[in-house]
Amino acid sequence: MKVFRWAALTLLAGIANAQQPATGPNTQLRPGAPVETSIPALPPLKPLFDYPLRDTSIARGHDGAYYLTGTTGFPDWWAVTGDIQVWRSEDLKSWAPVITKPRERSVVWNADRDGTWEKRVPLRDGAPFRPLWAPEIAYLKGTYWIGYSMPFGVGGGLLKSTTGKPEGPYVAMFRDGPAVDAIDLSLFEDDDGRVYLIWGAGNIREMNAKLDGFVGEGWKLKPADAERIGFEGTFVFKAYGKYYITGAEFVRDPLNRPGGEDYHCYAAVGDSLRGPFGPRFLAIPHGGHNSYFRDAEGAWWATIFGNDPRAPFQTRPGAMRIEFLPDGRFRPSAKQPPFLLSK
C-alpha cells in the first residue's frame, strides 16, 4: 500500500542493488521479492463502486450484510489523514455509508477527534506526515473491530464498537500508546475462539480476552521457501481445515513494460497457525493487499484495490471470487458474477 519515492531511498536502493540488474529510477522492489517469468491474467474486473480507496477490507456482519472499509482521504493519504469510513451492502452490488444522517459525515472514527497518541503528526522531509492507512474491519465476539495504522513511528491500534453496530461508536483498545509500532493491522479468530493480531510483514501475537493486550510472545508467519510471505498487508484466514497466510509484494514485470513493478498477492498454506507453511505461491496477480471473506452461499472472496499499472482498475474498492485447487492453493475463480465484470 505504502510506497514512498524519496530521492534518498532511491539512492540507497541503487547502492544496495549495485550487483543486481537495474530496476529503474523509481523501483519499488524490496530485497527478497519473488521473481516471476509469466503472470496469469485477471478477469476484467471493475470496482464495486467509484470512490478513491486503497487496501480494501470487507467482512460479513451480524445481519448477513457486508461491511467495507479501506484507506481514504485522497489525495492526502500520502500526507495527513485521520478518517475511517465504513460502507454497507446486502448483495455486494449496491453500497452506502453506514452513517447517512443529514449533515453528518460518513466517518465512524477520526484520529484527531477521537484519538490520543494518534494525534501526533511527525514531519517527513520537513512536511507534516501522518496518514491513516489500511483500516481492517472484522466481526467477532458479537461486535465490530477495526485495526488501523499510521506510519513513521506513530503506530497501529484497534477499535471496538461499543454498541455491536458497524457505525459504532468506536472506542480505542490501546489508549496509552500503540498496540504495535507497525502498519497493516488485522485480526484472526481461530476455531477455539482465540484471537490474534497480525501486522507488518507477517508478525502475529495472541491477544487477551478483552483484546486490549497480549498473551505470550509473538512469532513470524513465513512460507517454507522465503523469509516473509510479503513485505506488507499480511492477512490470515482458515478455509477447509487449512490455514492461509497472504501478503503483498512488488515484483518486476516479466515483460519489462513501462509504468513500474507489479503488485501481487502471495500466499502459503499450512495445517497449523504455528506452521510449518508450504512454499509461497502467486495467488492473485496485480491484486496485492487483501482481506478474505465468505458470502451467504459459502463461496470465498478476496478483496483488491489496484496498485500497479496492469491491475484492472486503480485505487478503487474491489473484490473477486476465489477457488481452491486440490493441492490447497487458491486463485481467482474462472467464474465471476457478472456484476463484477467490466465487459
| H, E, C per residue of 105-144 | CCCCEEHHHHCCHHHCCCEECCEECECCEEEEEEEECCEE
Residue 249 lies inside a defined structural domain of this protein? yes
Residue 149 lies inside a defined structural domain of this protein? no
C-alpha pair distances (Å), 307 with each of 55, 136, 261 = 9, 17, 10
- Taking only the tens place, the pLDDT of each residue in 20-43 is 333 333 568 999 999 999 999 999
Question: Mean of the pLDDT values across residues 195-209?
Answer: 99
Residue 113 phi, psi dihedral angles, 5° rounding: -80, -40
Note whether 26 and 14 are within 8 A (CB): no
Helices (H), the chain: 7-16, 111-114
Q: What is the pLDDT of residue 131?
A: 98
Residue 13 phi, psi dihedral angles, 5° rounding: -65, -40
Dist. CA 9–CA 241, nearest whole Å: 42
Which residue, among 254, 259, 237, has the nearest Cα to 246 in the 3D structure?
A: 237
Q: What is the pLDDT of residue 102?
A: 80
Residue 112 lies inside a defined structural domain of this protein? no
Note whether 129 and 79 are within 8 A (CB): yes
Please, what is the average pLDDT of the chain?
93
Q: What is the pLDDT of residue 101?
A: 81
Residue 189 lies inside a defined structural domain of this protein? yes
Q: How many CB atoms lie within 10 A of CB 110?
A: 16
Note whether 309 and 300 are within 8 A (CB): no
Dist. CA 56–CA 5, nearest whole Å: 23
What band does 305 get if pLDDT is binned at 50, 70 and 90?
very high
Q: Which helix (H) or strand (E) holds 155?
A: strand 155-161
Q: How many CB atoms lie within 10 A of CB 328?
A: 18
Q: Is a pLDDT exceeding 60 seen at residue 52?
A: yes
What is residue 16's three-state secondary structure?
helix
Strand partners, 293: 301
Residue 295 lies inside a defined structural domain of this protein? yes
Nine-digit cell at 45? 474486473
Dist. CA 341–CA 256, nearest whole Å: 27
Note whether 46 and 341 are within 8 A (CB): yes
Residue 313 phi, psi dihedral angles, 5° rounding: -155, 170
What band does 116 get if pLDDT is binned at 50, 70 and 90?
very high
Note whether 83 and 145 are within 8 A (CB): no
CATH for 289: 2.115.10
Q: What is the pLDDT of residue 21?
A: 35
Domain count, the chain: 1
Dist. CA 37–CA 317, nearest whole Å: 28
Note whether 310 and 45 are within 8 A (CB): no
Amino acid letter for position 323: E
Q: What is the pLDDT of residue 106?
A: 80
- Taking only the tens place, the pLDDT of each residue in 60-114 is 999 999 999 999 999 999 999 999 999 999 999 999 999 988 877 789 999 999 9
What band does 9 get if pLDDT is binned at 50, 70 and 90?
very low
* First-to-last C-alpha distance (Å) of the chain: 27
- Taking only the tens place, the pLDDT of each residue in 250-280 is 999 999 999 999 999 999 999 999 999 999 9
Which residue segment(s) compose the domain that 283 sits in? 7-59+118-134+175-340
Q: Which residue's entry shows cell 467482512?
A: 59
- Taking only the tens place, the pLDDT of each residue in 180-200 is 999 999 999 999 999 999 999
Dist. CA 27–CA 33, nearest whole Å: 12
Q: What is the pLDDT of residue 97?
A: 96
Strand partners, 171: 160
Q: How many CB atoms lie within 10 A of CB 144?
A: 28
Amino acid letter for position 299: A
Residue 80 lies inside a defined structural domain of this protein? no
The percent of residues in the chain predicted with pLDDT above 90, rounded, is 89
Residue 301 lies inside a defined structural domain of this protein? yes
Residue 100 lies inside a defined structural domain of this protein? no
Question: Mean of the pLDDT values across residues 241-253?
Answer: 98
- Sorted by sequence, the CB contacts under 8 Å of residue 202 that are 6+ apart come out as 220, 221, 222, 228, 229, 230, 234, 245, 247
Dist. CA 267–CA 150, nearest whole Å: 25
